[in-house]
Structure 1
Amino acid sequence: NNTHLPGFYYDPEKKKYFRLLSGNNNYNPLTKDGLQLKAAEETRVKMIQGKEPTPPKPAAQTAANSRTMMLLQRNREQGQLTYQQFARFAHEHCVTMLPMQPTHELTPFPDTYFNGEAGSIQFLKVDQHQDRVLMVIHDSFLSRIWQGSVNRDDNNNDAVAIDNWGTVNVLGTRSNKITNVEWATSDRDDGLQVLYTVSGGQTSSAQLFKIYRDSSGRWKKEFVFSTESMEKMCWTCAWNHNPLMQPQISIGSSRCAVIFDIATANRKELYSGHSDVLAQVYSRHRPILFNGTRRGEILGCDLRVDLREPQLYREGKTVACKLKHRVCVCSLKLLKDENYILASDISGKIRLWDMRMGRHIYSYQGLANKHSQLTVSVDSSETLVYGAGIDKCTKFWSLQDGRLLHTVPSPLPMSTDGLPVPAYSRQWHGGATPGLILGMERQLFWYSLAL
């Protein structure tokens, strides 16, 4: 038994104690951070090799999968499961078998700036039809947005292919950084629109572009709307998909949310409890904008209230509902049944809220986070919740009961900069196999769900 000594580290291989220092130096390279990184890399390798936890042998694993699917099918035939329940349980079971290593790498990677040596992927956003993807790459010199088309890979039936890449915008600055990007619309008649926010430096801004193909088939972009501020930061943005309301965007800003009418450029502020707005989502069927604040509140703001009355704004009369996290809310997702909203905060807590009762009904445990503004997503079938933490592991939970279904380790060593950015679907465009696209550093990896 080795006694723990404060300030010292026991090496089980050398069977000696070593003094820990706050930083690296030439005399003693052992530090707490370095040891944690080494332990995390050992855990990652064990997970990829299947040694942690120990999985069954391939033959036994295949037999177990067959038995599970046969049991589900029998319960369905006996009327013990509805079709929706059967589809949900089968999908959750298949996700537990997602491979630990990428099936292959998606190529070619479009970004050629700096000879492909700089930058890392910050965002991957898929549109509602699962056939377009937005990718943001950022480094100390440039921030750029790429969009591509999702199709089935003709050379590999178990994979997707992303092609027809084109740049939406490139920002050549050291200080400004793209803080969020969203598909503003997926109406093919009007063309695709991309909304994004930029912060840092002397000004912050939000811009809206329309993307379309010209007669020669090349991607073109058309400027639609832009706004700048020298006083406030732009943390996030949202597009109003409600067909009964005028086209408008919202910007999560310093101490308030700001709404712009695209047609008239009219501007109005929404009450946020005098706290920064870090996450936003519009209701599709009601005139409500949900704001997640740095104070830890989720505020549902009624857009019908006349904000020209200062007394209403000061008293927060625009707030139709209020939910409370303990720390900064950094991600919001509204389900198809808009009585439910999924929220995550910077402590790693993920909760599904029932707004009718004003309390959370499920919690999703295991997302590693301490200070980062991480995004948590729901798949298009609303079966799964998934997200990547600062431990560089991508986790999947059951939306319906909060169970942790699967953990996918980082495809790259733990010493690599940047975090994984996941995009999962079982309904990719073109009939591609369900699976996970994982962006990390300057690479896109594919994990096939095919068994």
Structure 2
Amino acid sequence: MPRKTDAGRDHGRPTKKRKPAKRAASTSEPSAAFLAALEAQRASHNTPAPEPQLASEPTPVPKAMAGFYYDAEQKKYFRGNAPTKAPLSLHKLVVSTPTASSRRRFDGRSNVTTLLSMRQVRSPWARHDYDIARLVWRKTPRITSLPSPVYNPIDMAFANGRLAVADASGSIAVCELTDVGLQNGAEIAAGAGLQMTRLQWQRAYQTTPALGYTALGGANRPGFLRVHRDNVLLYNQALQDAWCLAWHPHKATHIAVGATHKKSRAVVLDMEYNQRVRGPSSNVASDVFAQAFLSCGQVLFNGTRSGVAWLWDLRSHAVCLQLRLPRAASISDVAILGNDVSCILGARDGGLERYDLRALRAPVLTYAVLTPAQSHATRLAVDATETVLCGHVSAHEVGLWDVDTGCLLSRALDTPRDARLYGVALDTATCAWRVVSACVTADRVSSHLLCAEYSATSRTTTSS
């Protein structure tokens, strides 16, 4: 056995801690400076608090400083002039109380969808000016035939007095639309052998807006999105199949295109930095035929081949909502009204309907009657005041409707059965209203432009 040593016996026992020696208490007296400070502290506690200033005594007025004003509530100086306080009007103090008419069931039913739809239709009556609608309704248009600047027109776009007409072979003619007729303009050689799909002018950011156009690919050649301004190519982006485009309402260098790009069918491009934002690809796998931005510029409306319309929020990269047509038809054109809750859809079966994005059920208004036997790409245009809607009634006729009531105001253009109308342009001039469409024969041998003009009556004021 191991030998037990002294260290082994005491192993594990707590050792005694040595305490330091106690110091002798200091017998020195406090200094004179410490006693003086203590007496001063006692004197301050014994003095009474100052009485608050009476309200009758005038408050001192701060000095006026050039370029600054004094805020009495915050007791600070601020740069600039003092803001003027608007007097509170009496009508803001009146609290509206519900009446029996507001609580009554709408149209005999308590359907929330019907209530929202009918309220959306009836609300603009006190806001819009209906002189334009009465003008179109009462007047008989003057039809004129203009020579077509291209051989086989397929689409057109109008802005600031300039009419752009696209040819099916890949050329674009830009002309000036005057009171007399068309003036010879420039010609853009877009791409020989590729089918053009859509034209759209840029908003009036500059004196000369840019023109964007798309084309489909074919013969081992990709499609493209191109932007021209005065015969100068500003942007060129190769895409597999580009069907449509839409300009951003606030950013001049941003443009959306409905094209087949990998798995996404909608892309937003930045022309300045050559960047792209792909749309969601897991929800709707169908080609986008029509696009339009909401007025905020952060949401993009897409109409597809399968008849499904979906909203894409660019900030969250997600689908906001989906709207499906009640029948099997492709969406060929779309227009978003200024309230951002109403949209007008044009389908290939001739349907021209207005929907409310807050009630995704039945259409609110139906403008054109369906013609399934005559499938055509329905194009539409809305004037700046959102009063008159222009679109295809059928493949042989163009009509004008009241946006809010859905009434047919006029049948502007009509062609025989052996010809078809392609594209539509609405010229909202101050002296006259003009509707332009391209008329092409069935054998595509000849073509011309039809123009319907609604002359405004001159107003005279009499003084009594």
TM (norm. structure 1) is: 0.64
Residue aligning to 1:91: 132
Q: Which amino acid aligns with 2:270?
A: D
Q: Which residue of 2 aligns with 1:249?
A: 255
Aligned with 2:143 (options 76, 98, 103): 103
Q: Tell whether 2:261 aligns with 1:234.
A: no
Q: 1:206 aligns with which of 193, 208, 224?
A: 224
The percentage of aligned residue pairs carrying the same residue is 19
Match of 1:261 among 254, 264, 270: 270
| Aligned-partner Cα distance in 2 for 1:197–1:355 | 28
The reply on whether 1:372 has 2:376 as its aligned counterpart is: yes
Mapped contact 1:121–1:135 kept (Cα < 8 A) = yes
Alignment partners' CA distance in 2, 1:391 and 1:351:
17
Alignment of 1:4-83 (within 5 A): none
What one-letter code is carried by the residue in structure 2 that aligns with 1:237? L
Gaps of 5+ in 2: 1-123, 441-446, 458-464
Which residue number corresponds to residue 348 of structure 1? 350
CA contact (8 A) 1:143 1:172 kept: yes
Deviations 1:116-141 (A, max 9, x none): xxx332222112xx422211122xxx
Separation in 2 of the partners of 1:103 and 1:342?
Answer: 27
Q: Which moved more, 1:340-349 or 1:370-379?
A: 370-379
Deviation at 1:151, TM superposition (A): 3.0
Q: Is the 8 A contact 1:422 1:436 kept in 2?
A: yes
Report the CA distance between 1:95 and its aligned residue. Answer: 1.9
Output aligned runs, 1:321-332, within 5 Å: 321-325=321-325, 326=327, 327-332=329-334
Does structure 2 retain, via aligned residues, the 8 Å contact 1:146–1:168? yes
Aligned to 1:177: 195
Q: Supply the distance in 2 between the matched residues of 1:380 and 1:234 (Cα, whole angstroms).
A: 28
Q: Which amino acid aligns with 1:437?
A: V
Partner of 1:225: 235
The Cα shift of 1:379 comes to 2.3
Task: For 1:198, give the aligned amino acid.
Answer: A
Shift in Å at residue 180 of structure 1? 0.6
Checking the alignment, whether the CA contact within 8 Å between 1:151 and 1:432 is kept in structure 2 is no
Contact 1:437 1:445 in 2 (8 A): yes
Alpha-carbon deviation of 1:206?
2.7
Residue pair 1:120, 1:440 contacting (<8 A) in 2 also = no
- Alignment partners' CA distance in 2, 1:105 and 1:131: 18
1-side partners of 2:301 and 2:276: how far apart?
18
Any gaps of 5 or more consecutive residues in structure 1?
1-80, 112-118, 154-160, 213-220, 308-317
Helix, strand or coil: the match of 2:133?
helix
Query: Is 1:166 paired with 2:186?
Result: yes
RMSD, matched Cα: 2.7
| TM-aligned CA deviation for residue 84 of structure 1 | 5.1
Distance apart, 1:366 and its partner CA: 2.1
Cα pair 2:155 2:422 within 8 Å, conserved:
no
Letter in 2 for 1:379: D
Give a deviation string over 1:236-271, Cα, whole Å, max 9, x none.
Answer: 11221224xx72222212361122221222223212
Partner of 1:61: none
For residue 83 of structure 1, report the CA deviation from its aligned partner: 7.8
Distance 1:351 1:368 in 2: 13
* Alignment partners' CA distance in 2, 1:248 and 1:209: 11
Structure-1 separation of matches of 2:423 and 2:297: 31
Q: Partners in 1 of 2:344 and 2:213 — Cα distance?
A: 22
Report which of the two has the higher share of helix.
1
Q: Distance in 2 between matches of 1:240 and 1:103?
A: 35
- Equivalent residue letter for 1:242: H
Higher relative contact order (CA 8 A, sep 6+): 1
The number of equivalent residue pairs is 317
CA 1:437–1:197 in 2, change beyond 3 Å: closer, same or farther?
A: same
The answer to whether 1:415 aligns with 2:429 is no
Structure 1 residues 302, 163: CA separation in 2 closer, same or farther (over 3 Å shift)? same
* Whole-angstrom distance in 2 between the partners of 1:211 and 1:401: 39
Q: 1:225 Cα shift?
A: 1.5
Matched, 1:300 2:311: yes
User: Structure 1 residues 364 and 440, CA, compared in 2 at 3 Å: closer, same or farther?
Assistant: same
Any idea what SS the aligned residue of 2:134 has?
helix
Partner of 2:167: 137
Equivalent-residue separation in structure 2 for 1:358 and 1:166 (angstroms): 44
SS of equivalent to 2:432: coil
**Residues of 1 paired with 2:286 and 2:126: CA distance?**
45
Amino acid at match of 2:288: V
Kept in 2: contact 1:148–1:164 (CA 8 A) = yes
Aligned residue for 2:135, secondary structure, equals helix
- Alpha-carbon distance in 2 for matches of 1:435, 1:377: 12
Q: Which residue of 2 aligns with 1:361?
A: 364
Distance of 2:305 and 2:133 partners within structure 1: 33
How far 1:93 moved relative to its partner? 3.1
Opposite residue 121 of structure 1, the aligned amino acid is P
- 1:406-451 deviation line (CA, Å, top 9, x unaligned): 224524x3223x42533233x32xx542232232133123222127
CA gap of 1:420–1:94, structure 2 versus 1, over 3 A, is farther
1:280 CA drift (Å): 0.6
What SS does structure 2 have at the residue aligned with 1:95? helix
Q: Secondary structure at the match of 1:96?
A: helix
Counterpart residue type for residue 191 of structure 2: L
Match in the other structure for 1:46: none
Structure 1 contact 279–329 (Cα < 8 Å) conserved:
yes
In terms of Rg, which structure is larger? 2
AA aligned opposite 2:259: S
Q: 1:367·1:388 contact (CA, 8 Å) conserved in 2?
A: no
In structure 1, what is the Cα distance between the partners aligned to 2:132 and 2:192?
A: 43
**Residue number in structure 2 paired with 1:273:** 284
Does the CA contact (< 8 Å) of 2:224 and 2:241 recur in 1? no
Distance in 2 (CA, whole Å) between partners of 1:371 and 1:340 is 25
CA distance in 2, matches of 1:438, 1:251: 24
Letter in 2 for 1:443: H
Contact 2:379 2:424 in 1 (8 A): no
Matches within 5 A, 1:151-162: 151-153=178-180, 161-162=181-182
Determine if contact 1:205/1:226 at 8 Å carries over to the other structure. no
Asked if 1 retains the 8 angstrom alpha-carbon contact of 2:350 and 2:394, the reply is no
Question: Could you tell me whether the CA contact under 8 Å between 2:198 and 2:215 is conserved in 1?
Answer: yes
Structure 1 CA distance for aligned equivalents of residues 146 and 370 of structure 2: 26
